[in-house]
Amino acid sequence: MQNAGTIDELLSDGIKATPPSFVRSILKAASDPDVTSFAGGLPNPISFPQENLTESMQRVVAAHGADAFQYSATAGIFELRQWIADRYNARFGHDYTADDVLVTTGSQQVLDLLGKVLLDKGDGVIVERPTYLAAIQAFAMQQATFHEVRLTDEGLDVDELEAALDAGAKMIYLIPNFQNPTGLTYSAEGRRRAREALSGRNIVVVEDDPYGELRFEGETLPYIGGVSHPHGVVMGSFSKTVTPGFRMGYLLTKDHGLLRNLAIAKEAADLHTNVFSQYVILDYLQHHDLDEHLVKIRDLYRSQAQAMVAAMEEFFPEGVTFTQPEGGMFLWVTLPEGVASIDLFPKALERNVAFVPGDPFYVQPGNYNTLRLNFTNADEHTIRDGIRRLSEVLAEAI
Amino acid sequence: MQNAGTIDELLSDGIKATPPSFVRSILKAASDPDVTSFAGGLPNPISFPQENLTESMQRVVAAHGADAFQYSATAGIFELRQWIADRYNARFGHDYTADDVLVTTGSQQVLDLLGKVLLDKGDGVIVERPTYLAAIQAFAMQQATFHEVRLTDEGLDVDELEAALDAGAKMIYLIPNFQNPTGLTYSAEGRRRAREALSGRNIVVVEDDPYGELRFEGETLPYIGGVSHPHGVVMGSFSKTVTPGFRMGYLLTKDHGLLRNLAIAKEAADLHTNVFSQYVILDYLQHHDLDEHLVKIRDLYRSQAQAMVAAMEEFFPEGVTFTQPEGGMFLWVTLPEGVASIDLFPKALERNVAFVPGDPFYVQPGNYNTLRLNFTNADEHTIRDGIRRLSEVLAEAI
């Protein structure tokens, strides 16, 4: 056929507004086996109960046969939704039922569905500054107007939050525990203040909690508004506790008007989540004590986080600060004003160590003086040695 | 918290424009075991190679270990993309490579990604009249402007196609083989005429072919523009040939500008497709002859389709016409003008037989005189008896 014109003329404003994932390109650069990569966001393979899952697959085929391979319901299988509701009720004393749960293709899909169901071009969405980069992607696809609210050691800056709420927003997206990218956790008081500010506002309050069960220090704290707000949504995932490869996430909400529309969007997106994997995860959860499994993961991540913090305290130059996470997979480093972490990335690679510059975690582009480090995928010796090499790069730059 | 206002005030125009799936509610009504349901769209369980897939799961865990449970690449695993490319090259003599393939969470996700990447509010999309209802859902979510083009026994009405193209559209969505819902297949001449009309137009030409390998009569015909058009896309799926429960679909395109943007949208939607299931499907395809497996499915569907056609010829009253599919899972019944199939649905249920009224397969609501019948989920005796009971309902209505 003759030339038909360029594809650029056909692309939507939505996709043009969506930043490609910076981190994926970084990960390529860091994939050299000689490189100590703190750039990834991968759970440690210790968290995958491979043998138990393989046994579950046998049982699922024997017990469910063709039903495990056939088309299935959009909401997800009932027993898995019931297990998820029971788990949250046991942990937080709520009263969720299976009807309050939607099983999704990873918790990333919840972001996609929320964006579609709530955000038209120009609609406001409030996010933490910095925030999870793939949430920026999902909401940018809807051409949303972002209101960033500064994240402090306690939680959101409440003055900035009030201003953002007054500016108008349909949704606020929060990661209250061991946030990605900062590793910060809202304090009890920080949660209370944010809850107060959100009270009575007509806004969907989304709390994304993929790491909530990976707390290796301190005590579990109540949600901000994901449960108590009339339009509250709590997001969860099996990616950090069982396996990310299955892409198994979920949301809980008592707002069935919202849930019904999220289910319609889910149906138009992929009909339903992989039903065989749903049965396998359910069978695993029914035959094993998840809490015992989590102890293993927490103990490992605690020691890895402590090794990284100890090495940073030993090697990092004056003027470099960092967070000390109580759980999760990441911590956050702040360099002196004016030092752009992205300029240090190639220098770090020369020393065979990789990190993620802060830039993709902000809505506005700019040469930020922050960077994210992942501590879950290297042993303590490698962590110490990698931080030592990174510290040399920082010392030269400051 | 105090009342925060209703969720309706917060819902997007996009979701408000998206019809909930009519069929899902129909399926509920038809789920009574006493009902002979021709309403579903389920592959026959004979098409799921359960034992072979279970063996593949063992091999995958042994061969890939943690990699089969970890996060993975957005495009899909290389060897599976290569297998898909090779399959199309072998069937049609093309020159696809793994780099031309994106693995998706069911082929439904391809519709979601195409909508996001191409369609802003009001942008034109051309679809067959009638067309696949979940394609209407996915494009309606983008608030697209639909141009319906009448589908005939030969293919598209070319005058209507030219008019739609002149009216302006970014994408045309076609199902050339054993179309859902009509079971119609474009003739060689019908394909040539449509190809000619599309030649030189700056439009993305999408051919959805989930049933292409389920042809039980006649010969495979070349695609219209999915391959040859500069912005051509071919969609495929393992749902009808191996298992729908895994939600495993894909697209092939030589337009890497389009593909790059579809991958960004895919990443924002669910990061990547269930990687364990990708490895299992690949292992199954490497250890078994898919063509041998397909013979089984085709033989069954041929006999089921013939049984339904024979029963309709025997029992249906004068003035009722129907298609005679060369493959796939559906056929299409047209009642006399003015007879609304949706009015007959409850009457049919009273006689324990269910179908899908034509309405959800059209963009414009209206009491249509058409209905869809699925022939892949009942034995020949049940099909004959169900059609007999349905014919009584039709006879009364005419």
In the stretch 17-36 of chain A, residues with CB closer than 8 A to chain B read 18, 20-21, 24
User: What is the secondary structure of B170-187 as a DSSP string?
Assistant: SEEEE--SS-TTT-----
Min Cα distance B398 → chain A (Å) is 35
Q: Out of A2, A53, A268, name the one closest to residue B112 (CB).
A: A268
Euclidean distance between CA atoms B19 and B136, whole angstroms: 8
Residue B4 has pLDDT above 80, yes or no: no
- What residues form DSSP beta bridges with B233? B206
- Residues of chain A contacting residue B56, judged by C-beta atoms under 8 Å apart: none
For residue B99, count CB atoms less than 10 angstroms from its CB and return exposed for 0-12, middle for 13-18, buried for 19 or more: middle
- Name which of A150, A151, A147, A152 is nearest A164 in CA terms: A147
* Residue of chain A nearest B120, judged by CA positions: A12
- Residues B121-166 pLDDT 10s: 999 999 999 999 999 999 999 999 999 999 999 999 999 999 999 9
**Any B CB within 8 A of A196 CB:** no
Would you say A139 and A119 are in contact if contact means Cβ atoms under 8 Å apart? yes
How far is B253 from B249, CA to CA, in rounded Å? 14
Residue B1 has pLDDT above 50, yes or no: no
Instruction: Give the pairing type, strands A171-174 and A204-208.
Output: parallel
Under an 8 A CB cutoff, do A245 and B118 touch? Answer: no
- Using a CB–CB cutoff of 8 Å, tell me whether A50 touches chain B: yes
Question: In chain A, which residues have their Cβ closer than 8 Å to the Cβ of B21?
Answer: 264, 267
Distance from CA of A313 to the nearest CA of B (A): 31
Q: What does the buried/exposed string (b/e) look like for A72-99 if buried means 16 or more CB atoms within 10 Å of the residue's CB?
A: bbbbbbeebbbbbbebbeeeeebebebe
Chain A closest-CA separation from residue B18 CA (Å)? 8
Separation of CA B199 from chain center: 25
pTM: 0.96
Mutate to test the interface with A, among B258, B267, B283 (most CBs of A within 10 A): B267
Determine whether the interchain pair A50/B70 forms a contact, defined as Cβ–Cβ distance below 8 Å.
no
Distance from C-alpha of A142 to C-alpha of A128, rounded to nearest angstrom: 18
Query: What SS3 state is found at B11?
Result: coil
Residue ranges, chain A, pLDDT below 50: 1-2
Of all residues in chain A, the one with the smallest CA distance to B273 is: A247
**A-B contacts at Cβ under 8 angstroms:** 282
3-state secondary structure of A69: coil
SS (H, E, C) B44-84: CHHHCCHHHHHHHHHHHHHHHHHHHCCCCCCCCCHHHHHHH
Q: Answer for the pair A274, B247: CB distance below 8 angstroms, yes or no.
A: yes
How close is the nearest chain B Cα to the Cα of A392, in Å? 31
CB contact under 8 A, A138 and B268: yes
Give the contacts of A100 (CB within 8 A, at least 6 positions apart).
A85, A252, A253, A254, A256, A259
Q: How close A238 gets to chain B, by Cα (Å)?
A: 11
Residue A3 has a pLDDT of 57
Contacts with B108 from chain A: Cβ below 8 Å: 268-271
DSSP annotation of A226 reads: T
Question: How far is the alpha carbon of B209 from chain A, nearest alpha carbon, in Å?
Answer: 17
C-alpha B248/C-alpha B93 separation (Å) is: 24
Please tell me the predicted confidence (pLDDT) of residue B33: 85
Q: Is the dihedral of CA A20, A26, A28, A31 positive or negative?
A: negative
Chain B residues in contact with A72 by the CB 8 A cut-off are: 245
Residues in B touching A117 (Cβ below 8 Å): 11-12, 14-15
Confidence bin at B23 (pLDDT 50/70/90): low
Tell me the sheet residues that pair with B259.
none
Mean pLDDT of B200-226: 96
Of B3, B267, B274, the CB nearest to A277: B274
Name the burial class of residue B187, with classes exposed (0-12), middle (13-18) and buried (19+) by CB atoms within 10 angstroms of its CB.
middle
CA pair distance A372, B33, nearest whole angstrom = 56
**What is the C-alpha to C-alpha distance for residues B119 and B195, in angstroms, rounded to an integer?**
22
Enumerate residues 103 to 142 of chain B having a beta carbon within 8 A of any beta carbon in chain A: 105-106, 108-109, 111-112, 116-121, 123, 134, 137-138, 141-142
What's the token pair of residue B214?
Answer: 């389920």
- B12: nearest CA in chain A? A118
Instruction: Quote ipTM for the complex.
Output: 0.96
Sign of CA dihedral B192, B193, B195, B199: positive
Half-sphere exposure of B8 (CA within 13 A, CB side): 1
Region B167-194 average pLDDT: 98
Position B38 pLDDT exceeds 70: yes
- Residues 6 or more apart whose CB falls under 8 angstroms from that of A62 comprise none
Q: What is the DSSP letter of B373?
A: E
> Over pLDDT 90: what percentage of chain B?
92
CB contact under 8 A, A71 and B229: no
Place of tokens 């319906």: B148
Q: List, in sequence order, every residue forming a beta bridge with B125; answer none if it has no partner.
A: B146, B171
Residue A55 contacts B, CB cutoff 8 Å: no
- CB half-sphere exposure, A226, CA atoms < 13 A: 25
Contacts of B62 (CB under 8 A, 6+ apart): none
**Residues in A touching B118 (Cβ below 8 Å):** 10-12
Query: Rounded to whole angstroms, what are the CA distances from B331 to A301, B178, B181, B352?
Result: 57, 8, 7, 20
Per-residue pLDDT reduced to its tens digit, A274-327: 999 999 999 999 999 999 999 999 999 999 999 999 999 999 999 999 999 999
